[in-house]
Amino acid sequence: MIPAPRLKAGIFVRALIRRVQVEGASAFVVRSGAEEAGAVIIKVAKLDGSVLVLNQTRDAKGALVWGQPLGGWTDEARAGQWCDRQVSFDPDLWIVEIEDRQGRAFVDEPIV
């Protein structure tokens, strides 16, 4: 199976932020990465101290999915430390934070 072409990271991030705003939540870029091909991490904050970190990955069939590298909801400090480590490995990385009391991620792909 040939994977679907990827949308440029900068375009994806701007579209995600717009989608979040249309739904009445807030989103902002915490860290800008490479416009063309940077990876994207999403931090979903429920505004109660809990955060869900999602990173782009591929499933066994090559389809884009969102992984939960910290195993689900965690605290802001742990999420921040993990994101800082990822930036040290990948300087082209984007980090987008979504603030939504319902904990919605606003992505179409499956969260695994």
Q: Which domains does the chain have, with CATH numbers?
A: 9-99 (3.40.1530.20)
Q: Where are the beta strands (DSSP E) in 40-93?
A: 40-45, 50-58, 64-67, 74-75
Tokens for 99, please give them: 């603030």
Per residue of the chain (112 residues), give pLDDT as tens: 455 556 789 999 999 999 999 999 999 999 998 888 789 999 999 999 999 999 999 899 988 899 999 999 999 999 999 999 999 999 899 999 999 999 999 999 999 9
Tokens for 49, please give them: 């101290």
pTM higher than 0.85, yes or no? yes
